[in-house]
Structure 1
Amino acid sequence: MHECLVALISRFFGDCGQKILNFPFLGEIPLLSAVILPLCMVFSIFWAANQHASYAWIGQDILGISLMTTVLQMARLPNIKIASVFLSCAFVYDIFWVFISPLIFHESVMIVVARGDSSGESIPMLLKIPRFFDPWGGYDMIGFGDILFPGLLISFAFRYDRYKKKGILNGYFLWLVIGYGIGLFITYVALYLMDGHGQPALLYLVPCTLGLIIVLGWLKKELEDLWDFGASRPEHSPGEA
């Protein structure tokens, strides 16, 4: 959360992050970090102490989005060859723990972990939002992995478009974002058709993102370049940090 806020504020108010403070034992720390970090710590501690409150989902989602944004800034896929292996493994993993694990453990391990089983204690590794208009209540949930794994591919598409100086319509980024949205929509349709039984979202998201970029690359005759991108050339365009 600290990393995201510092980056966001520095982007719009560049000068505010320039002042440096010298703390005993800690050394030089930017003033912006010295102000924001304690606030983030208070926010996180408040959420942890009140995570069973009706409004706790707001704090969990804010912290979760901050975490995923930071991961997407740090981790990068170099090409779709690596993306294909990575997302294919995640695809099989998701299907196994949702659909096949009940045959071995008599219940879906993924769903039990997400919902916290009978203890009510769940690992906060998902985004959740209340079903406001559902008389039965409950939450709609999506795991971090269902956002991060396709997100890494979408981030790669954005960097590739910038390197190739592609426009928004003739590049890959926009179409992968649309593909992700379609995959998510199909996930919720499947959830409805299966009476609320948890779905492996990557079953639908991987074909709608990885499959889409492969098809588009083949149609544009750029699939070979996408497949080995970064192997023999710098990934960043000149002047890009």
Structure 2
Amino acid sequence: MVPTNGQLFMLANGILGGLVVLTNFVLLPIILQMILYAATIIYIGSHLSLKLKETDPVTGEKQMGESMSQKDAMMFPIIGSVSLVTLYVFYKFLSPYWVNLLLTTYLSILGIAALAATISPVLERVVPIPAKVLDRKFHITFQLPGPLKRKEGPHDFRFTVLDIVSHVVSLLVAIAWLVTKHWCLHNIFAIAFSIQMISLVSLGRFQVAFILLSGLFIYDIFWVFGTDVMVTVAKSFEGPAKLVFPVSFDPWKQSILGLGDIVIPGIFIAMCLRFDQHLFEEGLEGAPVKKKDDVIDIHQGFHKVYFTSAMVAYCLGLATTGAVMFVFQHAQPALLYLVPFCLGALLLTAVIRREWSHVWTYKEEEDNKDDKKEATDADTAAEGTQDDNDESSMESKKSQ
């Protein structure tokens, strides 16, 4: 029996949870810890990103997340550099305690939402509450007071009992982390941040991915080898913007991996998975397209050639990073190795399969824009029909 994506997703969640518990008692090799954590996070986030192609039940539009433009990709290393230097200055001239207190409080609030969204699918299956109760929906409309009432419309909040349960559990984890500062709880929030970012952000096109990864390739090399800025900030920052791996329990020693080294390649790998799905939907991979009620089921199996090659390349790049780090006993810019491995895997796979033209012309935002245009046209047509009906009614009343 071939497992479905949903079953594999639950298995990956179980592996990730097991790793968090296991590494608290067993000292695994650092390279193995990095690969197991990062690969599992990217797998979960990538498969969650398939929902970006689903249709929103309320608006009827595809749930495409944040899409990055070429300008955004070119500006990203610059904005990242400004933010990095700002944090460096804060840690140098202000008390690290107050800087970490502010950032930790802010990230804790965001972390509760990220963790709640991540653990919801798991809680849905393990919480001993009937599915009908968990799926019960609530709808609250909130209107801002004063001048903002005219500027902004009412805000709608839709949630279920499952959302309440997941947020309560996340709040308890956040409180435990703020009190104990335990590295396992720290990693739980870092994992949740990474999974949600990978699942929600779309690069739109592979051209944008090449620009972004190339820019961050130079960015990472400069700030790690050229200055002490990135290493200083990474060691001083206590918020869940990195994964912590124990090197020794007694005395306590740790190694770290920045979330950018997981999220940025992860967003690229997730797009490779959606590209595999695109080839399947278009029938370009030679496999029959199976539909259910005239809608393609994203949970059915399809050939994940580009996703698999990118994942293998990422693991090899991360292993290379760890090996070089141990040989030279110096912090390494992980993107120095991850970017060539990931981009090289995409190029090599496309050339071997003779699908480079499909790779280069693939656009995720195009379908989303077309859907929005069609929805807008439909709304305009509906408004026009309503106006015509109103005019006809007025004329009828006048004639009477």
Q: TM over 0.5, yes or no?
A: yes
Is the contact made by 2:120 and 2:162 (CA closer than 8 Å) also made in structure 1?
Answer: yes
State which structure, 1 or 2, has the greater radius of gyration over its C-alpha atoms. Answer: 2
Q: CA deviation at 1:49?
A: 2.4
Give the partner amino acid of 1:19: R
1:128 maps to what in 2? 244
Residue in 2 that maps onto 1:96: 222
1:9 positional shift? 4.0
Letter paired with 1:20: K
Q: Secondary structure at the match of 2:202?
A: coil
Residue among 164, 182, 194 paired with 1:34: 164
Task: Go from structure 1 to structure 2 and tell me whether the alpha carbon gap of 1:193 and 1:8 turns closer, same or farther (over 3 Å shift).
Answer: same
In the TM superposition, residue 207 of structure 1 has moved relative to its aligned partner by 0.6
Change (3 A) 1:163 1:10: farther
The answer to whether the Cα contact below 8 Å between 1:114 and 1:123 also exists between their aligned partners in 2 is no
Q: Is residue 277–residue 302 contact of structure 2 (8 Å, CA) maintained in 1?
A: no
Q: Deviations over 1:17-60 (max 9, x none)?
A: 42135789897631111122122112112212221xxxx11111
> Quick one: distance in 1 between partners of 2:343 and 2:351?
12
Secondary structure, counterpart of 2:256 in structure 1: strand
Aligned residues: 219
Shift in Å, 1:188: 0.5
In structure 2, how many angstroms separate the alpha carbons of the residues matched to 1:77 and 1:232? 9
Q: Is the 8 A contact 1:113 1:122 kept in 2?
A: no
Equivalent of 1:155 in 254, 259, 270: 270
- Counterpart of 2:325 (choices 171, 188, 191) is 191
1:74-93 equivalences in 2 (<5 Å): 74-93=200-219
Counterpart for residue 233 of structure 2: 113
Given that residues 158 and 173 in structure 1 are in contact (C-alpha distance below 8 angstroms), is that contact kept between their aligned partners in structure 2?
Answer: yes
Question: Equivalents in 1 of 2:350, 2:125: separation in Å?
Answer: 33
Q: Indicate the RMSD between aligned Cα atoms, in angstroms.
A: 2.8
Per the alignment, in what secondary structure is the counterpart of residue 208 of structure 1?
helix
CA offsets, 1:45-102, max 9 Å, x none?
2212221xxxx1111111111111111111012221110001111111100100112x
Query: Cα distance, 1:147 vs. partner?
Result: 0.2
Q: 2:238 is paired with a residue of what secondary structure?
A: coil
Structure 1 residue 15 displacement after superposition:
4.8
Asked whether the equivalents of residues 204 and 365 of structure 2 are also in contact (C-alpha less than 8 Å), the reply is no
- Deviation string for 1:123-167 (max 9, x for gaps)? 43100121148x764112110000011101110111111121258
Give the aligned partner of residue 239 of structure 1: none
1:3 to 100, 113, 117: 117
Alignment of 1:206 onto 2:339:
yes
Q: Where in structure 1 are there 5+ consecutive unaligned residues?
A: 102-107, 236-241
* Percent of matched pairs sharing the same residue: 27
SS of the residue corresponding to residue 138 of structure 1 reads strand
What residue number does 2:193 align with?
67
Distance 1:82 1:38, change over 3 A: same
Provide closer, same or farther for how the CA distance between residues 14 and 224 of structure 1 changes in structure 2, counting only shifts above 3 A.
farther
Larger helix proportion, structure 1 or 2? 2
Gaps of 5+ in 2: 1-114, 143-155, 286-300, 369-400
| Equivalent residue letter for 1:2 | A
Q: Deviations 1:185-240 (Å, cap 9, x if unpaired)?
A: 00001101112x110000000011012101221222212221220279638xxxxx
Within 2, Cα distance between the matches of 1:87 and 1:177?
Answer: 16
State the match for 2:357 in structure 1.
224
